[in-house]
Amino acid sequence: MANDKLRRRVAWEAARLMYTREEAEYYRAKLKAARRVAGSDFKPGDLPTNREIRDEIQVMARIQEGDRRDENLRQMRIEALRMMRILWRFRPRLIGSTLTGHVRRGSDIDLHVFSDSLEPITALLESEGLVYEVQRKRVLKAGEEHIYRHVHVRDRFDFELTVYPADKAHHVFKSSITGKPIERASIAELEQLLAEEYPNVVLDQTVLEAESKVDRFQVYEMLLLPLEQVKENPRYHPEGDALYHSLQVFELARDALPYDEEFLLAALLHDVGKAIDPKEHVAAGLEALDGLITPRTAWLIEHHSEAHALREGTLGVRARRRLEASEDYEELKLLAQCDLAGRARGVAVADVREALDYLRELARTCGE
């Protein structure tokens, strides 16, 4: 196989591995791609550069995501500005795909921030009600160990803050893709970019609107986590707590209808009211979720108990006919099946964050 042709095939396969999130690192992606394309019959010179792979990823993103990609990029840049204004005292700089425009489905927003201590940054994030995780990475470079500090913020778009010492604010960082200085933008530079790229956007008003938006997935998480303390009646729920049950129901629902977000939300959230008012858990759950779920999801949650009565043959004729008249009747019966089956002991399930990440990504794919 000619070297150029082999190189292009490896670049395309590596890009596919990264676009589908099968691999996250360029080096691992290109090695796996080379083995798949050429077996063991390849040389280091046959491997594409990181930049070649990135270009192929962008081709895939344009093919797969179309116009949604441009709107997604605009929203990500607005969110980046909102976060940078929150973090202004740490001299934030926007880097990566949100700045360059090379975003794809699932891309996060990368910021450099500068502080000699993590505590002021995490304290600020907590005061803003933001959910975050701190990660420390040890990397060997030229025989020296370096520790990199990252703060992963979970928001409408995920952020990765890389924290450098304060005296590194003017340091020139090099790109692992191009080997050239990393493109980065201050708050003022991002504001200028937004004004040039989106002249019809009233910037301050748009950022204010972004600030006022409720991240529904964070609310879902806050409603789900207390279910772990809700112990079910072992006669009907031998699996244990209500959270474990809800996650089982979600897994079964995902197996059945993996791309129906409204149905999957009903499966995951159908019992959140049990941590609020166990006696009237359906009504309590729907009140807590008001404005955060669609009417279809609300209908499925509202009637899932009746669907059990329907299965048992104890539902009245009028109530049965009312349910049968709905276009979501089949999904309601399926939800009841998942609810009944999701009561097993020792079953492996996703955790809350994994389930919500799946739903968040599904929502983005569908254009939210």
| Domain with 328 in it | 216-365
The domain boundary residue, chosen from 212, 246, 272: 212
> Within this chain, do residues 84 and 103 fall inside the same structural domain, yes or no?
yes
Instruction: State the CATH number of the domain containing residue 165.
Output: 3.30.460
Q: Are both 237 and 251 inside the same structural domain? A: yes
Number of domains in the chain: 3
- 116 shares a domain with 82: yes
CATH number for the domain harbouring residue 313: 1.10.3210.10
In this structure, the answer to whether residues 274 and 329 fall within a common structural domain is yes
Beta bridge mates, 161: 111, 151
321 in the same domain as 234 = yes
**Do 206 and 182 fall into the same domain?**
yes
Residues 48, 10 share a domain: yes
Do residues 199 and 252 both lie within one domain? no
83 and 181 fall within a common domain: yes
Question: Contacts from 38-47 at CB under 8 Å and sequence distance 24+?
Answer: 38/1, 38/6, 38/10, 42/6, 42/10, 45/3, 46/3, 46/6, 46/7, 46/10, 47/7, 47/10
Query: Are residue 336 and residue 239 in the same domain, yes or no?
Result: yes
Tens of pLDDT along the chain (368 residues)? 457 777 888 888 888 887 777 776 777 888 888 888 877 766 777 788 887 887 787 777 777 766 677 888 888 999 999 999 999 999 999 998 899 887 777 788 999 999 999 999 999 999 888 888 999 887 766 667 777 899 999 888 899 999 999 998 888 888 766 677 888 999 999 999 999 988 888 888 888 777 767 788 888 998 999 999 988 888 888 888 999 999 999 999 999 999 999 999 999 999 999 999 988 999 999 999 998 999 999 999 999 988 888 888 888 889 889 988 999 999 999 999 999 999 999 999 989 989 998 998 888 776 55
At which of 17, 46, 65 does a domain end?
A: 65
pTM score, two decimals?
A: 0.61
From 65, 97, 112, give the residue that closes a domain: 65
Residues 6+ apart with CB under 8 A from 209: none
List, in sequence order, the alpha helices (H) in the chain. 3-19, 26-38, 50-65, 67-86, 97-100, 119-127, 187-197, 203-212, 216-224, 242-256, 261-269, 281-288, 295-312, 317-324, 329-341, 352-365
Same domain, residue pair 77 and 178? yes
Tokens representing 251 are 């897994």
Residues 238, 207: one domain? no
